[in-house]
Structure 1
Amino acid sequence: MNRKWTMPVGAMPVGIAVIAALVVALLGGTITDLGPWYQSLHKPAMTPPRPVFPIAWTVIFALAATAGVTAWRNARDVRTSDTVIGLFALNGFLNILWSLLFFRLQRPDWALIELILLWCSIALLIGYCARISRLAAALLLPYIAWVSVAGLLNWQVVQLNGPF
């Protein structure tokens, strides 16, 4: 069925993207436990100082929300806009799942495997958004860079502390 595509105007898409980003950030933050178990882990020397993490994630979530709205607004049809929403939803789920595996289940080894899926979901988002908006794709580059560094840190935590 080919529905006529009319782009909603106004602040509603921005509001929805902001709420979605806040939900992912709050759920991930709630799951993240920096208590005794995490403090006892041997961490790689390249681990950023603790205050860097909330700053980096705030910037990344703001850029991702902007990328989502940009791609969605530039979508040529309903199918494309629905795919953008679906890909961002999948990515948000995988983002939260990593925190659950690493911090709550205390399984950095499982989190490392899941991080590969998270990284692939960001790469897929970048590739899909690039077809719609180069700006949207570019806004996601800091996200994949940060998750790449997180992957290296995660791998080193597994190496320094395993088996789990």
Structure 2
Amino acid sequence: MASRGLLEILSGPTASTVAGFAGSAAVVFGVQRLVPTFDPTWYKSLKKPRWTPPNYVFPLVWIPLKLMQSAALWLVWSRAPSSKALVLPLAAMGVHMFLGNWWNVVFFGKRQLKPSLPWMYAFWGSIAATAAAFHPISPAAAYLMLPTQVWVTIATKLNWDIVQLNI
């Protein structure tokens, strides 16, 4: 059943469940920490559409999304029938995390608005690919990736609008 793995996380966790989830969270959140912190004043100076969320919304959204990604990764890791079955899902997740970080470097670090768009599109696609790669092992893990897909769809539109307003 698709929800079995998610229910296992939410109900009486075992030591191995806690350790597995903690390890997955360390990977997901740790990879994000590889991106340097950038000067926030530059972003504030950009022209943005009226519908832009306030800055405090971004961490309020990303933290739960990263927790869901951590749970998805743990579900796939713990349910894979073999190490060979993990190759594609883990590669997809790695590409997803790389592209999300690289978009931050291009957009915020290098301040390259228009060149950030293809990276954002690739990031969006990598989330879909990760969910697709997770699904055969754990449908629940695939579904846990969907809120990230929704948020990155919004972020892609925001990225596009910022480019249009600032070129």
Q: If the TM-score is normalised by the length of the shorter chain, which range does it land in? A: 0.7 to 0.9
For the pair 1:80 / 2:85, whether they are aligned, the reply is: yes
- Correspondences of 1:18-33 after superposition (within 5 Å): 18-28=25-35, 30-33=36-39
User: Runs of 5+ in structure 2 lacking a partner?
Assistant: 1-14
Structural RMSD (CA) = 1.6
Contact residue 24 and residue 95 of structure 1 kept, 8 A: no
Q: Of residues 81, 102, 126 in structure 1, which corresponds to 2:107?
A: 102
Relative to the length of structure 1, the TM-score reads 0.86
Q: State the distance in 2 between where 1:82 and 1:14 align.
A: 19
User: Runs of 5+ in structure 1 lacking a partner?
Assistant: 1-8
Tell me the secondary structure at the aligned position of residue 40 of structure 2: coil
Q: Percent identical across equivalent pairs? A: 30
For the pair 1:58 / 2:63, whether they are aligned, the reply is: yes
Amino acid at match of 1:21: V
Instruction: Write the deviation string for residues 55-111 of structure 1: whole angstroms up to 9, x where unpaired.
Output: 111011000010011112121221112322222111111111010000010012111
Tell me the secondary structure at the aligned position of residue 111 of structure 2: coil
- Aligned residue pair count: 152
Aligned to 2:153: 148
1:43, CA displacement in angstroms?
0.4
Contact residue 31 and residue 99 of structure 1 kept, 8 A: no
Name the stretch that deviates more: 87-96 or 77-86: 77-86
